[in-house]
Amino acid sequence: MTKYMDYASPNAQFTYDLSNSLFFRKDARNYINVLSVKQLNTLDNTSLLDIFLSTGNTVEPHYHENASELVYCISGAAIVSIINPFTNQLMNYPITPGQVANVPQGWWHYEIATVDNTHLLAIFNAPEPQVILGSDILRLTPTSMLAHSYCLNEALLKQALAPLTQTVIIGPPANCNKSMPAASPSQQQQPNWQQAPAPGVTPGVYNSRIGQQTWTQPYYPQQPANR
């Protein structure tokens, strides 16, 4: 469908204040503003999300079915994680001010802030970004289907997913009050998000096809015992 804009029209908009277009707000330090053709009608195939995060907060796992995403770090630091569907690898890219990470259209990904006052700009090659969120997939898919598909204990799965009653967007949810059991060896190998990555560090990769994990310092500080 061809879009035509009369740039001589008195209704044509050429500037906009993103502070007037809140997309989601978790709290005063974690929120997202949006700019699309709905806010600025002269936009063509461009839109963006203006993202503010504090340490440990995430833009939840998701994908964009209609656009690629270029994540630019304005301030702070973040890790952009992407699953490459052609290699079945989880790739982690630390970015600091002036650095970018590119997410091709339809690829599963998420971002996590590694320092306070992180400011990211997510730029899309579409007039309005569409999104499928992991929290919606988990809470809307019947637990019976998940349990059957993956040979899981449905009662335990239902218990685990019970708190997930609405879309998350920025996680963890503000009312998160989980009680954590003692960490198992596998849990102890999870990334330490409190430690900011060094500029230029090659990211760690998890290769799900062959079940082999490789880790790179400093933001994966513990080496797997079976490496």
What the chain holds in terms of domains, given with CATH numbers, is: 18-136+190-214 (2.60.120.10)
Per-residue pLDDT of the chain (227 residues; tens, 9 = 90+): 446 778 899 989 999 999 999 999 999 999 999 999 999 999 999 999 999 999 999 999 999 999 999 999 999 999 999 999 999 999 999 999 999 999 999 999 999 999 999 999 999 999 999 999 999 999 999 999 999 999 999 999 999 999 999 999 999 988 887 654 443 444 333 444 443 343 333 333 333 233 333 323 233 333 333 33
Say which DSSP state 38 is in: T
Buried b or exposed e, range 22-51, using 16+ CB within 10 angstroms: ebbebeeebbbbbbbbebbbebeeebbbbb
Which stretch of DSSP H or E encloses residue 161? helix 154-161
Q: Which residues pair with 59 in a beta bridge?
A: 111, 170
Alpha-carbon torsion, ordered 90, 91, 95, 101, to 10 deg: -100
Residue 189 burial by Cβ neighbours in a 10 Å radius (0-12, 13-18, 19+): middle
End-to-end CA distance of the chain: 53
Say if strands 78-84 and 118-124 run parallel, antiparallel, or are unpaired: unpaired
In this structure, the number of other CB atoms found within 10 A of the CB of residue 95 comes to 22
| pLDDT on residue 136 | 97
Q: Which two tokens stand for residue 166?
A: 């609405």
For residue 3, the model assigns a pLDDT of 61
* pTM of the predicted structure, to 2 decimals: 0.77
pLDDT in the model for residue 5: 79
pLDDT for the residue 77: 98
Q: What was the pLDDT predicted at 124?
A: 98
